[in-house]
Amino acid sequence: MSFSVLGDLNWFAVIVATIVYFGLGGLWYAEFLFGKAWQRAMGWDGNAPEGAGAGIYVVPLATCFVATLATAMIAAATGTDTVGEGIVLAIVVGIGLSAAVLAVTGMFDSTKPAAMTTVAISAGYHFTGLLLASVILALWQ
Protein backbone atom coordinates (compact mmCIF):
# COMPACT_ATOMS: atom_id res chain seq x y z
CA MET A 1 0.00 0.00 0.00
CA SER A 2 1.16 3.53 -0.69
CA PHE A 3 -0.26 7.00 -0.31
CA SER A 4 -1.26 6.88 -3.97
CA VAL A 5 -4.39 5.04 -2.76
CA LEU A 6 -5.63 8.47 -1.60
CA GLY A 7 -6.40 9.31 -5.22
CA ASP A 8 -8.61 6.23 -5.52
CA LEU A 9 -10.81 6.99 -2.51
CA ASN A 10 -14.43 8.02 -2.73
CA TRP A 11 -13.99 11.22 -0.73
CA PHE A 12 -17.74 11.77 -0.46
CA ALA A 13 -18.00 8.37 1.26
CA VAL A 14 -15.11 9.31 3.57
CA ILE A 15 -16.86 12.55 4.57
CA VAL A 16 -20.25 10.86 5.08
CA ALA A 17 -18.67 8.02 7.07
CA THR A 18 -16.80 10.56 9.22
CA ILE A 19 -20.00 12.46 9.97
CA VAL A 20 -21.86 9.23 10.82
CA TYR A 21 -19.01 8.11 13.11
CA PHE A 22 -18.84 11.51 14.83
CA GLY A 23 -22.64 11.79 15.06
CA LEU A 24 -22.82 8.39 16.71
CA GLY A 25 -20.71 9.85 19.52
CA GLY A 26 -23.43 12.41 20.20
CA LEU A 27 -25.87 9.57 20.78
CA TRP A 28 -23.45 7.14 22.43
CA TYR A 29 -22.35 9.60 25.10
CA ALA A 30 -25.83 11.08 25.65
CA GLU A 31 -27.26 10.52 29.11
CA PHE A 32 -29.99 8.21 27.80
CA LEU A 33 -27.39 5.74 26.48
CA PHE A 34 -23.92 5.51 28.03
CA GLY A 35 -23.32 9.13 29.05
CA LYS A 36 -24.09 8.80 32.75
CA ALA A 37 -22.09 5.60 33.15
CA TRP A 38 -19.17 7.06 31.20
CA GLN A 39 -19.18 10.26 33.29
CA ARG A 40 -19.18 8.23 36.53
CA ALA A 41 -16.36 6.03 35.24
CA MET A 42 -14.36 9.10 34.24
CA GLY A 43 -15.08 10.94 37.49
CA TRP A 44 -16.44 13.82 35.45
CA ASP A 45 -19.30 16.08 36.53
CA GLY A 46 -20.55 16.68 32.98
CA ASN A 47 -19.43 20.30 32.75
CA ALA A 48 -17.16 21.20 29.86
CA PRO A 49 -13.52 21.54 30.95
CA GLU A 50 -12.48 25.13 31.57
CA GLY A 51 -11.28 26.78 28.35
CA ALA A 52 -12.41 23.85 26.18
CA GLY A 53 -14.18 26.01 23.60
CA ALA A 54 -14.79 24.57 20.15
CA GLY A 55 -11.96 22.08 20.63
CA ILE A 56 -14.28 19.83 22.59
CA TYR A 57 -16.04 19.11 19.25
CA VAL A 58 -13.33 19.84 16.69
CA VAL A 59 -10.77 17.39 18.08
CA PRO A 60 -13.17 14.40 18.15
CA LEU A 61 -14.38 15.29 14.64
CA ALA A 62 -10.78 15.44 13.41
CA THR A 63 -9.94 12.10 15.02
CA CYS A 64 -13.04 10.50 13.50
CA PHE A 65 -11.86 11.81 10.13
CA VAL A 66 -8.33 10.42 10.60
CA ALA A 67 -9.65 7.00 11.69
CA THR A 68 -12.15 6.93 8.83
CA LEU A 69 -9.49 7.96 6.32
CA ALA A 70 -7.12 5.21 7.54
CA THR A 71 -9.98 2.71 7.33
CA ALA A 72 -10.81 3.90 3.81
CA MET A 73 -7.18 3.44 2.78
CA ILE A 74 -7.19 -0.12 4.13
CA ALA A 75 -10.54 -0.79 2.45
CA ALA A 76 -9.21 0.43 -0.89
CA ALA A 77 -5.95 -1.51 -0.55
CA THR A 78 -7.78 -4.74 0.31
CA GLY A 79 -10.61 -4.33 -2.17
CA THR A 80 -13.26 -4.26 0.57
CA ASP A 81 -16.54 -3.78 -1.30
CA THR A 82 -19.27 -5.82 0.41
CA VAL A 83 -21.10 -5.52 3.71
CA GLY A 84 -19.44 -8.72 4.95
CA GLU A 85 -15.99 -7.45 4.07
CA GLY A 86 -16.83 -4.13 5.73
CA ILE A 87 -17.73 -6.00 8.92
CA VAL A 88 -14.43 -7.89 8.84
CA LEU A 89 -12.58 -4.61 8.29
CA ALA A 90 -14.41 -3.09 11.28
CA ILE A 91 -13.40 -6.05 13.44
CA VAL A 92 -9.77 -5.59 12.40
CA VAL A 93 -9.59 -1.83 12.94
CA GLY A 94 -12.23 -1.48 15.65
CA ILE A 95 -11.16 -4.32 17.90
CA GLY A 96 -7.68 -5.10 16.64
CA LEU A 97 -6.49 -1.51 16.88
CA SER A 98 -8.86 0.83 18.70
CA ALA A 99 -10.01 -1.48 21.48
CA ALA A 100 -6.53 -2.91 21.98
CA VAL A 101 -4.96 0.53 22.37
CA LEU A 102 -7.74 1.74 24.65
CA ALA A 103 -7.38 -1.36 26.84
CA VAL A 104 -3.67 -0.73 27.39
CA THR A 105 -4.36 2.91 28.21
CA GLY A 106 -7.16 1.96 30.61
CA MET A 107 -5.08 -0.69 32.33
CA PHE A 108 -2.54 1.89 33.41
CA ASP A 109 -4.85 4.86 34.01
CA SER A 110 -5.12 5.09 37.76
CA THR A 111 -6.66 8.58 37.58
CA LYS A 112 -10.13 7.32 36.62
CA PRO A 113 -12.55 5.86 39.19
CA ALA A 114 -13.43 3.00 36.80
CA ALA A 115 -10.89 3.05 33.99
CA MET A 116 -11.92 -0.27 32.44
CA THR A 117 -15.57 0.83 32.33
CA THR A 118 -14.39 3.90 30.46
CA VAL A 119 -12.46 1.64 28.10
CA ALA A 120 -15.47 -0.62 27.52
CA ILE A 121 -17.79 2.28 26.71
CA SER A 122 -15.21 4.05 24.53
CA ALA A 123 -14.13 0.87 22.74
CA GLY A 124 -17.78 0.05 22.07
CA TYR A 125 -18.26 3.49 20.56
CA HIS A 126 -15.19 3.25 18.34
CA PHE A 127 -16.02 -0.28 17.22
CA THR A 128 -19.60 0.67 16.37
CA GLY A 129 -18.48 3.91 14.67
CA LEU A 130 -15.84 2.10 12.65
CA LEU A 131 -18.36 -0.62 11.79
CA LEU A 132 -20.73 1.97 10.34
CA ALA A 133 -17.85 3.75 8.59
CA SER A 134 -16.47 0.48 7.18
CA VAL A 135 -19.82 -0.57 5.74
CA ILE A 136 -20.38 2.89 4.21
CA LEU A 137 -16.88 2.83 2.71
CA ALA A 138 -17.26 -0.72 1.42
CA LEU A 139 -20.56 0.00 -0.28
CA TRP A 140 -19.40 3.31 -1.80
CA GLN A 141 -16.01 1.99 -2.93
The pTM score is 0.91
Q: Which of 41-50, 74-83, 101-110, 114-123 has the lowest mean pLDDT?
A: 41-50
Three-class SS string for 42-101?
HCCCCCCCCCCCCHHHHHHHHHHHHHHHHHHHHHHHHCCCCHHHHHHHHHHHHHHHHHHH
- Going from N- to C-terminal start, the domains of the chain cover 3-139
- Who has greater pLDDT, 52 or 12? 12
To the nearest whole number, what is the mean pLDDT of the chain?
A: 91
Question: How much is the pLDDT for 12?
Answer: 97
